[in-house]
């Protein structure tokens, strides 16, 4: 993999025809060290956010030893890439065959949210006595940009029976939850921990693990969250007040927060039609979220000479033949942008890289390491903010 200083250097040297993913290993290392050093417990990387083997190795080398896997494919991937890593199968609904193979590969931590899933885990592991079983409780996603409150999680009224039954089958009993993706306030975790407290008190069981899940935010245009230390302080205080085992462990499952800054994408403008730019990546590539949930990513013009034009709002069309390949934005770029210009789209290390397809024959991208800073960051003292801007030589 080649190395360039930044997107401008790459564009000037190669004039790439296809999109190029710009990788920043130093950004992933910085995020990993931040969680390892500051979160008051154990951090599990949520592999679904970006399953790149290169990224997995970077996180391992930075001190992340536990990985939240959500499928058998992810179990196999991390097991092959990092044989010494500890895997936690945290999807609450799993095929029995997947549970059995995962157990054979060394997985001992599983999540569940129903009695049926508990029975499935017990059967698939032949009643093993060395299981860490985490019961997922449903909590609010009111403070998050993307809800995860509908699909998984036992209702509080179901928790007493489920916790009691799971306690009988588990070597270590846990409670886990997910406040939703891109939680914009620490209150999300404070309120969820109150539900955990109520469940423990009602069930009167000994809890060994409290897993606050993911949801830790990154910086995007129009979404500037508070500092992550504030989230950690709220979580630590709530955990300390819970009626749990004296040796109970506190876990979290950051995905976006560990890898959003890891990658951006350099795209080329193929056509301009008024305030619409036709680019060579889109909804079936790294910009799925921009198309389907209206997510705004930071953008900047990559051109040898700085533009003197005022910025204006643009929308994007991707390269496929599908009308749905449209990203409404708005994305603010200089008004004189034209076909042949390059744009860097930032903060795509989370989910963007993971959701790329080859629909319509598009999707091939090169990867290049760059050593400049990401377009936005929650880590470090003074970094570029999330405001869209042009870059110059």
Q: Name the residue among 160, 166, 161, 139 with its Cα closest to residue 150.
A: 139
What does the alpha-carbon distance between residue 47 and residue 74 come to, in Å, rounded to a whole number?
A: 7
What does the alpha-carbon distance between residue 178 and residue 189 come to, in Å, rounded to a whole number?
A: 9
What does the alpha-carbon distance between residue 262 and residue 22 come to, in Å, rounded to a whole number?
A: 8
What does the alpha-carbon distance between residue 95 and residue 103 come to, in Å, rounded to a whole number?
A: 12
Strand pairing report for 3-4 and 366-370 = parallel
What does the alpha-carbon distance between residue 343 and residue 267 come to, in Å, rounded to a whole number?
A: 5
Strand boundaries in the chain, DSSP class E: 3-4, 20-23, 42-46, 66-69, 86-89, 109-112, 132-136, 144-146, 172-176, 181-183, 209-211, 249-252, 263-273, 276-279, 299-302, 311-317, 326-334, 342-345, 366-370
Catalytic (active-site) positions: 321
Query: Could you say which DSSP state residue 268 is in?
Result: E
């Amino acid at each position: 993999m080649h190395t360039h200083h930044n997107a401008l250097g790459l564009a000037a040297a190669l004039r790439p025809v296809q999109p190029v993913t710009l990788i920043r290993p130093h950004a992933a290392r910085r995020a990993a060290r931040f969680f390892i050093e500051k979160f008051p417990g154990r951090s599990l990387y949520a592999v679904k956010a970006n399953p790149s083997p290169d990224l997995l190795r970077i996180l391992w080398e930075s001190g992340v030893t536990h990985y939240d896997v959500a499928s058998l494919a992810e179990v196999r991937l991390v097991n092959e890439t990092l044989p010494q890593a500890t895997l936690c199968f945290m999807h609450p609904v799993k095929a029995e065959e997947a549970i059995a193979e995962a157990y054979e590969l060394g997985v001992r931590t599983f999540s569940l949210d129903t009695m049926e899933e508990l029975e499935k885990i017990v059967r698939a592991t032949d009643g093993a006595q060395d299981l860490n079983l985490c019961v997922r409780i449903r909590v609010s996603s009111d403070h998050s940009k993307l809800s995860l409150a509908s699909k998984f999680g036992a209702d509080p009224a179901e928790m007493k029976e489920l916790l009691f039954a799971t306690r009988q089958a588990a070597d270590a009993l846990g409670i886990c939850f997910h406040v939703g993706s891109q939680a914009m306030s620490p209150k999300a975790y404070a309120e969820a921990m109150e539900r955990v407290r109520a469940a423990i008190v009602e069930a009167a069981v000994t809890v060994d693990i409290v897993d606050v899940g993911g949801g830790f935010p990154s910086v995007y245009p129009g979404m500037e969250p508070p500092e992550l230390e504030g989230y950690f302080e709220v979580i630590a205080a709530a955990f300390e007040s819970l009626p749990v085992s004296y040796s109970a462990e506190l876990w979290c499952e950051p995905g976006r927060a560990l890898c959003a800054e890891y990658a951006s994408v350099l795209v080329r403008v193929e056509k301009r039609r008024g305030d619409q730019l036709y680019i060579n990546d889109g909804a079936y590539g790294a910009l799925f979220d921009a198309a389907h949930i209206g997510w705004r990513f930071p953008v900047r013009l990559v051109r040898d000479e700085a533009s003197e034009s005022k910025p204006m709002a643009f929308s994007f069309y991707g390269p496929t033949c599908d009308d749905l390949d449209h990203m409404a934005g708005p994305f603010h770029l200089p008004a004189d942008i034209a076909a042949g210009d390059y744009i860097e789209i930032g903060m795509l290390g989370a989910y963007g890289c993971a959701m790329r397809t080859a629909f319509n024959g598009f999707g091939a991208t090169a990867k290049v390491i760059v050593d400049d800073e990401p377009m936005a960051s929650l880590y470090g003292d003074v970094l570029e903010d999330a405001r869209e801007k042009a870059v110059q030589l």
